[in-house]
A = this chain, B = another copy of it.
Amino acid sequence: MKQKFNYYMPTRICFENGITKQMNDYIKGERVLIISDPFLFDNGTATRIGEGLVGKKVCYFSKIEPNPSCESVDMAAEVAREQKADCVIGLGGGSSLDVAKIVSCLVSNEGSIYDYYSGGNRTLGNRTAELICIPTTAGTGSEVTNVGVFTNKKAGIKMPMVNDEFWPDYAIIDGELTFTLPSKVTASTGMDAFCHAIEAYWNKGSIPICDMNAMGAMKLILENIKTAYDEPSNPTARGNMIVASLIAGIAFSQTRTTGIHALSFPLTTEFGASHGTACSITLPAFIRISKEEAWDKMKTLSNYLGFESIDSFADAIENLMISMEMPVRLHEIGVKEEDLSHITKVGLNAAIIQLTPAVMNEETVYALLKSIL
């Protein structure tokens, strides 16, 4: 066991399929801002939740885009301030949740996100508005982390911002919100959650509390992802998947991620793969090399998940991905052999890659990528 660790996760979690129909119990404030994306406004989810808030003044910000920009954050903060919002709800995937985190702080902190982030020199003070995060994918885990990821368009970079004010007061978990997820998104976000769990587990900074959560999350995902993919309205599978994503989120909120996430960045920004696809495409290869420095742990995990060996675990993940029509080779997302050196370099620039339980350098990362070209 690790000789030293810290753990802190102060968000209140409430899980129940259908729970978002009756949210008043969780909201102390009177003036609520719901931040979400166009898809969740178009399909009526955002307004349905707003209309369920009896006796509250509710306003909406509907313009959250994938990889949200600092400009979007500032626009949403402007709305929050105008409305004197005392409760900010983030509803959606990671993007909406992340924007809600910073906007809830900007209500009581003057200025732009740029003042606090990416070169800004001010420090976020106390958040006074309540912050509630409601995930609508079973993937990001953002509802139980203190991290927001924003894109600084001026500098052309996407960067995480970590702040203890970002821990949501409540994570409200409702599997029914995922019934309408397209099967492709079910697959990719579910495998993203699996990556969170396994990267927390084999992480060089792993801690025993999170190891167990990670193992449980992986088991729940393997037992439920294919059913959720095949039967989108199956309440048990959807409930189990969104809880698994939550538990994986708790795990990696303490440890951070590793090589899989490091290599996903260029695969997303330069080859357009969705985040979950960009992560899981290297997952089987990383499972195989994790033997290098995490043999015992990976053997324990493989046994727990019901596989005879670490390699058969990797094979099973690959077959699972194929059964959900996910790419398992880099050429399927447009990567060519001449791109591998560049992807290797960008991946190695992310410090988290060194939390992988294997030697990570230009040679080994290139070889890993080559093996799944």
Contacts and interface: CB of A to CB of B under 8 A. Distances in A.
Interface of A: 1, 3-17, 19, 208-209, 211-213, 215-216, 220, 236, 239-240, 243, 247, 250, 304
| This chain's copy number in the assembly | 2
14 contacts: A1-B240, A3-B239, A4-B16, A4-B19, A6-B13, A7-B12, A8-B13, A10-B10, A208-B216, A208-B220, A209-B216, A209-B247, A212-B215, A212-B247
Contacts of A19: 4
B16 A7 contact: no
Contacts of A12: 6-8
A5 B246 CA distance: 13
Contacts of A236: 1
A216 B220 contact: no
Contact of A3 (B4, B6, B16, B304): B16
A212 B208 contact: no
Nearest to A244: B208
Contacts of A239: 1, 3
Given A5-B13, A5-B16, A6-B15, 17 more contacts: A3-B17, A4-B16, A4-B19, A5-B15, A6-B12, A6-B13, A6-B14, A7-B12, A7-B15, A8-B10, A8-B12, A9-B9, A9-B10, A208-B216, A208-B247, A211-B216, A304-B304
A17 B1 CA distance: 12
A89 to B, nearest CB: 18
A7 B16 CA distance: 12
Among A4, A5, A7, A215, the most chain B Cβ lie within 10 Å of the Cβ of A7
Contacts of A3: 16-17, 239
Given A6-B12, A6-B14, A12-B8, A209 B1 contact: no
Nearest to A175: B3
Contacts of A17: 3
A14 B240 CA distance: 31
A303 B115 CA distance: 54
A251 to B, nearest CB: 10
A132 B216 CA distance: 30
A153 B8 CA distance: 37
